[in-house]
Amino acid sequence: MKKLNVQDEIAKNKIKSIGLMLVVFLSFIFLAYVISQFYDPGLAYFFVTIALIFSLLFTFFSYYYSDRIVLASVRARPATKKENTYLVNVVEELAIAAGVPTPKIYVIDSDELNAFATGRDPQHAVICVTTGLMRILNRSELEGVIAHEMSHVANYDVRFGTLVAVMVGMIVIIADMFRRSMLYGGVRRDRDDEGDSGGLLIVVGLLFAILAPIFVKLIQLAISRKREYLADSNGAYLTRYPEGLASALEKIKKNNTGALRVSRAVAPLFIVNPFSVRKVVELLSTHPDINDRIRRLRSM
């Protein structure tokens, strides 16, 4: 069990975050320019100015509010010390172990076992776990999972991961919301009022549904699976007890059915793939094989 150089990881994540913001910023402007060339080259300035304002707002908003978008998209609620004393204590302990301020704590009501961290830096971090995780894991296992998340917080993985999920994934989040509302009949359409707006909504929804898989692929390319191994070993270094996380992953593997309904854009943030731990093909997955992670933890 050796300590990896956190400073290098922090620097890498900060540079990658700035790079991402620049790329997204410039592609909006480029897109606006291309569209203007097709539409009316005389209006290029107008289009680019609009795009400039829009992408400035979008970048600013993403940087400061992406954690809230992520939390809202998974329907998490804040945990209280009274209700979740146990969890709050564990988070406080590991924040001390990692030398970071205590993150805010959120819970998702679900029987699935999962957790993720988000936020733009350790001062504005959030750790979120499912209620199932708290119920089924024992203390050292919960410590293992929280330590994993705490190392994502400490090395700024949370900044880059959250920015990718929101900036690249915005289309995916909207497409997934749209799909969910179609599946569960959330969108109610008046029979009498089948005007343009309804039709337009369908077209936009379809367009997003077509684009979404491309953006999911982009997210997977951006967020490397290596960071999960890194957080596993840094987390094990924090608790000095790799078996805690290893046995937590065993339980997660046994228990999870893929019933956690979250957007594909935020899936890479979770400690294990929310969709299915067993079925996902290794090559297509954002997460490393859970058995391999357990093996690595046990050989530390």
Distance CA 234, CA 116 (A): 15
Active-site hit among 112, 149, 228, 243: 149
Identified binder of other proteins from the candidate list 19, 99, 186, 199, rule CB under 8 A: 99
Check residue 94 for interaction with other proteins (CB under 8 A): yes
Looking at 71-79, 88-96, 171-179, 265-273, which segment touches other proteins (CB under 8 A)?
Answer: 88-96
Minimal distance in Å, beta carbon 219 to other proteins?
Answer: 33
Distance CA 134, CA 114 (A): 10
Distance CA 230, CA 67 (A): 22
Burial of 60 (0-12, 13-18, 19+ CB in 10 A): exposed
Type of residue at 10: I
Nearer to other proteins, 97 or 164 (CB): 97
Residues 6+ apart with CB under 8 A from 120: 63, 64, 66, 67, 158, 159, 162
Residues 6+ apart with CB under 8 A from 154: 6, 98, 99, 100, 122, 234
Check residue 236 for interaction with other proteins (CB under 8 A): no
Cβ proximity of 146 and 239 under 8 Å: no
Nearer to other proteins, 129 or 154 (CB): 154
Check residue 153 for interaction with other proteins (CB under 8 A): no
Distance CA 293, CA 267 (A): 18
Looking at 19-27, 55-63, 93-101, 252-260, which segment touches other proteins (CB under 8 A)?
Answer: 93-101
Nearer to other proteins, 68 or 240 (CB): 240
Residue 149 annotated to the active site: yes
Check residue 226 for interaction with other proteins (CB under 8 A): no
Nearer to other proteins, 71 or 98 (CB): 98
How many residues bind other proteins (CB under 8 A)? The answer is: 12
Binding site for other proteins (CB under 8 A): 3, 85, 89, 92-94, 96-99, 238, 240
**Annotated active-site positions, please?**
149
